[in-house]
Amino acid sequence: MQDTVIPVPEDWARRAYVDDAAYQQMYRRSVDDPEGFWAEHGKRIDWIRPYSRVKNTSYDPHDVSIKWFEDGTLNVAANCIDRHLEERGDQVAIIWEGDDPADDAKITYRELHEKVCRFANVLKKLGAKKGDRITIYMPMIPEAAYAMLACARIGAIHSVVFGGFSPDSLAGRIQGCDSNIVITADEGLRGGRKVPLKANTDEALKKCPTVKNVVVVRRTGGDIGWEEGRDVWLHDEMQAVSADCPPEEMNAEDPLFILYTSGSTGQPKGVLHTSGGYLVYASMTHHYVFDYHDGDVYWCTADVGWVTGHSYIVYGPLANGATTLMFEGVPNYPTAARFWEVCDKHKVNIFYTAPTAIRALMGAGDDLVKKTDRSSLRLLGSVGEPINPEAWMWYYNVVGDGRCPIVDTWWQTETGGILITPLPGATGLKPGSATRPFFGIQPALMDGEGNELTGAASGNLVITDSWPGQMRTVYGDHERFVQTYFSTYKGMYFTGDGCRRDEDGYYWITGRVDDVINVSGHRMGTAEVESSLVAHPKVSEAAVVGYPHDIKGQGIYAYVTLMSGETPSEDLRKELVAWVRKDIGPIASPDLIQWAPGLPKTRSGKIMRRILRKIAEDEFSNLGDTSTLADPAVVDDLIDNRQNRA
């Protein structure tokens, strides 16, 4: 399978923005002359004051500093809305598809302009100004996009928190960036079930005294608590303000947003993205990777709570004047045919989703797909985790009827946009490979000793030079930024991913090499789940690792040592799962808990996770060097009591 190459269809090579020759030529230029290349492509967005400096970046661990277009000024919201008004004011900007198939809406660029201006004025009236941090905790409704763009319009920095996170996780993120305004909805709606967003916010705010106002969008009309003086209804406020709100002039390097993401240690970190470079990169990748042409209907199924929603539902597509579809629901509601029915209903041309969804829908059978038409589809995309060749082939043959190229896009919250990907008119596809670098991206593979590997090889993936969409710092903790990304390999950005490069120079991402696990395409730090577990009064110690999971890609496997006197039981197992779920959110729920009388440790007391990973993966015969174990009997016990042995 790995040798299969699916060539670029002839019509694609003809009509796409770039064919293979153009890719080669543009890529060469982008790495030989980054200044010239980006000076030219930076112009794809509108600047208030044009930049004269293009690239000013250093990966030197003593002085990591990343600046692009640094003397230019712009407004991101004006780029996503105002500049399209003359030519495409009446074109649909956002197609909204509700959780209930009977619920939908279309918002034109002109309507988007009015909504965002009013929303921005509401925020201003509440005292928000340039540089303030505003937390957004919303369901997938157009108001989520309005809120982000309203922040961008007035120069406030948004921090979107995924609606599936718990009150505690929300509180941590509000405190982490000192937000004094939170934007939420009464309730969300997913798969027919209500998500108590306002109630969660109220709970979180008990720990966040700095929050002065909560702006509430009415989505379901459900019963909610209300704090007079603090809480305001968006619909009331919108009517009371003007529809005119001139965009704030922002420097290219002024922050646009913070997005919290899990790392291998400690609590989630606030990834900071700035305005100019981010928008250039998000819009350019959206344009070339999805080969977006005027009139196309484009659908990315992500949630705006993740970076994919930021770059490829909101900023990239809207900067390009696209029609972007926003879906409130879930893939299997009312049935597992929903995605394909939505494609037919809205005549979707470009469809971008995650392998976990593809695997789950594959399990639901071909009939649900085949009963839909899908003839509008032209291009398919995948993101978030490695896609196994079997799921790739199903996506290609069954969903795409063998007609649609698949762009398997590798990137990260930190990278702002897609770094390794096929271009549909240029790149022959290999199922399971993210293929080749995008313009300006210089990947390299390193071994554990810091040597660069050449030719066909496997190693740790680094990027050797900056690109405009790169994160600039960890909010409030530049040292952590330097430590996490620039200290492993000197002068290089370390991605945390393992990767293989084949003889054709194609890249195959193999997954995380650090203590981050990828559950259904969502990043989870093992340390976060561990600290939640040990906070339970009956737990003495916990170690968490990933293990292969058919649908989720990786599942969460927790080894738990109880306090002396406590006895393992099915009830306690359920209690611990519920505990983590409540503490962090459903995405952090352990899939398997193994009771561990002891954990394998070195004589200096360090937990040997490598061994725990192997046991979780059922690789007992290949435990590696166990000679440094303080008590080798611990390992035998763990193997004997392996949780899900047949």
Give the largest Cα separation in the chain, rounded. Answer: 73
Least distance between ligand PRX and beta carbon 312 (Å): 9
> Is 239 marked within a binding site?
no
Query: Which CA distances in Å does 365 have to 48, 295, 361?
Result: 52, 32, 7
Give the nearer residue to ligand PRX in terms of CB position, either 497 or 515.
497
Least distance between ligand PRX and beta carbon 461 (Å): 9
The backbone torsions φ and ψ at residue 291, rounded to the nearest 5 degrees and listed phi first, read 45, 50
Rule CB under 6 A: which residues touch ligand PRX?
261, 307-308, 382-386, 408-413, 434, 495-497, 509, 511-512, 518, 523
Q: How far apart are CA 355 and CA 373, in angstroms?
A: 22
> Is 447 marked within a binding site?
no
Give the nearer residue to ligand PRX in terms of CB position, either 296 or 385.
385
Q: How far apart are CA 149 and CA 156, in angstroms?
A: 10
User: Can you say whether residue 402 is alpha, beta or left, with left for phi > 0 and alpha for psi between -120 and 50 degrees?
Assistant: left
Give the nearer residue to ligand PRX in terms of CB position, either 340 or 507.
507
> Is 413 marked within a binding site?
yes
Give the nearer residue to ligand PRX in terms of CB position, either 195 or 387.
387
Q: How far apart are CA 37 and CA 237, in angstroms?
A: 45
Query: Which CA distances in Å does 562 have to 194, 429, 565, 583, 597?
Result: 35, 49, 8, 19, 7
> Is 374 marked within a binding site?
no
> Is 523 marked within a binding site?
yes
> Is 385 marked within a binding site?
yes
Least distance between ligand PRX and beta carbon 413 (Å): 3
> Is 534 marked within a binding site?
yes
Least distance between ligand PRX and beta carbon 607 (Å): 22
Give the CA-trace dihedral at 518, 379, 161, 332, to 10 degrees.
-80
CB-based contact 405:413 (threshold 8 Å): no
Q: Which two tokens stand for residue 318?
A: 């809207």
Q: How far apart are CA 404 and CA 380, in angstroms?
A: 6
> Is 188 marked within a binding site?
no
Give the nearer residue to ligand PRX in terms of CB position, either 140 or 250.
140
Q: Of 247, 219, 252, 238, which Cα lies nearest the Cα of 141? A: 219
CB atoms within 10 A of CB 645: 8
Least distance between ligand PRX and beta carbon 33 (Å): 28
> Is 411 marked within a binding site?
yes
Give the CA-trace dihedral at 481, 306, 141, 220, to 10 degrees.
-100
Helix (H), strand (E) at residue 540 = strand 539-549
> Is 191 marked within a binding site?
yes
Least distance between ligand PRX and beta carbon 386 (Å): 4
Give the nearer residue to ligand PRX in terms of CB position, either 277 or 416.
416
Least distance between ligand PRX and beta carbon 271 (Å): 8
> Is 332 marked within a binding site?
yes
Amino acid at 543: A
Least distance between ligand PRX and beta carbon 494 (Å): 11
Q: How far apart are CA 391 and CA 400, in angstroms?
A: 12
Give the nearer residue to ligand PRX in terms of CB position, either 200 or 261.
261
User: Which residue is it, tokens 């000076």?
Assistant: 39
Give the nearer residue to ligand PRX in terms of CB position, either 427 or 518.
518
Which residue's Cβ has the minimum distance to ligand PRX?
A: 413
CB-based contact 312:304 (threshold 8 Å): no
- Binding site, annotated residues: 190-193, 308, 332, 384-386, 408-413, 497, 512, 520, 523, 534, 536, 539, 581
Which residues make up each annotated binding site for ATP? 384-386, 408-413, 497, 512, 523
Q: Return binding residues for CoA.
A: 190-193, 308, 332, 520, 581
Summarize the annotated binding site for Mg(2+) as residue ranges: 534, 536, 539
